[in-house]
């Protein structure tokens, strides 16, 4: 089918042949947020000119869905406002189209790719294609006050293949050697690429006790932050022997941040942000459970120093990671 698509994908305005990735790229340059579904890639090639014409007229402020059949556009539907974060856009695509039996062209600011039966298609050049806009965006280094945007980008990248092969065996089980240090290093590497200033490990918060060192320390020349990394993997998803409950890891993470906060205050050092970052894979959690657990743990007896340091808890669900 792909060979047929390559020969039939013809831009009627220029009579030049384009591959499926080029069609996606040309439609992407129209600057709209669109998901195009079809059961046959040939239908997009055959109706390229009319599809382009319709997309050109779509409102920029909305995310759209077009379904293409042999005769052309079958349905045109507004999905939601475009004013959502990148990770929310990917979640929208996942929730609406991961069970779709066919092909989905997905495009929005900075990213475009092809899904085949709910999975990213490796038939398209560079499994997850990013446009020049996204490349330029990722080359911009972020100040610490925008670190949560980088956390979002990291999470989305993990969902689309980043680090999957490092963590999972051929049966989709997490390797036994994957523990906090390995997970910390994956996050650390991403932060080093995307954050301004210094990103370090083993930053000591207590001059009198070398053991009191945080997982990740950041300093952009204006502000400073620390990140404590934890993980919680259910036994059936993990070949290792450390099966902490999610509640235990939140509690332990907060207690560790509490210690750091007290040591920093004792030494007269100011830290602007303090994060707990938890990697997890479990079937007994949802977003409401997680929020409730964090809320409950925050209601415990934590110091005023902790509360002046603590910023947020970030979670990364390995159950959503996909092999690219």
User: Domain boundary residue among 138, 160, 181?
Assistant: 138
Paired tokens of 184: 């910390």
**Torsions phi, psi for 193 (to 5 deg):** -75, -30
What is the pLDDT of the chain when averaged over all its residues? 83
- Clarify whether residues 147 and 225 are in a common domain: yes
Same domain, 220 and 203: yes
pLDDT tens track for 242-294: 999 999 999 999 999 999 999 888 888 889 999 999 999 999 999 999 999 99
What is the number of domains present in the chain? 2
DSSP strand pairing (33-38 vs 103-108): antiparallel
Which of 102, 117, 138 is the last residue before a domain boundary? Answer: 138
The total of other beta-carbon atoms located within 10 Å of residue 171's CB is 6
Instruction: Give residue 43's domain range.
Output: 2-138
Q: Write down the pLDDT at residue 40.
A: 86
Same structural domain for residues 92 and 134? yes
84 and 146 together in one domain: no
Element (H, E) at 266: helix 246-266
295 and 188, same domain (yes or no): yes
Report the distance separating Cα 54 and Cα 206, nearest Å: 62
Domain of residue 312, CATH code: 3.40.91
**pLDDT class for 306, splitting at 50, 70, 90?**
very high
- Contacts of range 162-165, beta carbons closer than 8 Å, 24 or more positions apart: 162/190, 162/324, 163/321, 164/321, 164/322, 164/323, 164/324, 165/323
Q: In the chain, what is the greatest distance between 2 CA atoms, to the nearest angstrom?
A: 75
Same domain, 128 and 208: no
Average pLDDT rounded to a whole number, residues 58-75: 91
Are residues 178 and 130 located together in one domain of the fold? Answer: no
Say whether both 256 and 292 belong to one domain.
Answer: yes
Q: With 0-12 CB in 10 A as exposed, 13-18 as middle and 19+ as buried, what is 56? A: exposed
pLDDT of residue 138: 46
Q: Do β-strands 16-17 and 273-281 pair in parallel, antiparallel, or remain unpaired? A: unpaired
The packing angle between helices 48-56 and 20-28, to 10°, is 20
Q: Kindly report, residue by residue over 148-194, the tens digit of the pLDDT.
A: 989 998 998 898 889 999 999 999 999 999 999 999 999 999 999 88
Do 148 and 182 belong to one domain? yes
Whether residues 60 and 147 share a domain: the answer is no
Of 22 and 52, the structure prediction assigns the larger pLDDT to: 52
Whether 217 shows a pLDDT value over 90: the answer reads yes
pTM (2 decimals)?
A: 0.60
CATH number of the CATH domain containing 97: 3.40.1700
Statement: residue 48 has pLDDT above 50: yes
Order the strands of the 33-38 sheet from edge to edge: 72-81, 62-69, 33-38, 103-108, 111-116, 119-120
Considering the domain architecture, whether residues 125 and 187 belong to the same structural domain is answered as: no
Is there a single domain that holds both residue 57 and residue 156? no
- Domain boundary at 138, 170, 203, which? 138
């Amino acid at each position: 089918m792909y060979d047929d698509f390559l020969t039939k994908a013809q831009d009627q305005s220029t009579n030049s042949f384009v591959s499926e990735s080029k069609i996606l790229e040309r439609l992407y340059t129209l600057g709209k947020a669109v998901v195009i579904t079809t059961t046959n890639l040939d239908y997009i090639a055959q109706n390229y000119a009319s599809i382009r014409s319709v997309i050109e007229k779509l409102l920029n402020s909305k995310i759209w869905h077009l379904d293409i059949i042999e005769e052309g556009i079958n349905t045109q539907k507004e999905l939601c406002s475009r004013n959502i974060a990148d990770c929310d856009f990917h979640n929208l695509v996942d929730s609406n189209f991961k069970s779709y039996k066919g092909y989905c062209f997905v495009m929005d600011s900075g990213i475009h790719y092809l899904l085949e039966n709910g999975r990213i298609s490796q038939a398209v050049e560079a499994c997850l294609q990013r446009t020049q806009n996204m490349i330029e965006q990722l080359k911009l280094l972020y100040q610490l006050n925008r670190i949560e945007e980088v956390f979002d980008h990291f999470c989305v990248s993990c969902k689309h293949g980043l680090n999957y092969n490092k963590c999972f065996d051929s049966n989709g089980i997490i390797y036994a050697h994957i523990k906090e240090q390995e997970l910390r290093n994956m996050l650390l590497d991403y932060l080093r690429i995307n954050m301004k200033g210094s990103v370090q490990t083993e930053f000591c918060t207590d001059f009198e006790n070398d053991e009191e060192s945080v997982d990740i320390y950041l300093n952009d020349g204006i502000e400073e932050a620390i990140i404590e990394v934890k993980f919680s993997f259910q036994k059936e998803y993990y070949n290792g022997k450390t099966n902490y409950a999610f509640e235990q890891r939140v509690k332990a993470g907060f207690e560790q941040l509490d210690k750091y906060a007290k040591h920093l205050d004792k030494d007269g050092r100011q830290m602007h942000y303090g994060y707990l970052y938890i990697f997890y894979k479990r079937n007994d959690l949802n977003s409401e459970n997680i929020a409730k657990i964090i809320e409950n743990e925050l209601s415990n007896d934590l110091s005023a120093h902790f509360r002046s340091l603590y910023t947020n808890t970030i979670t990364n669900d390995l159950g959503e990671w996909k092999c690219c």
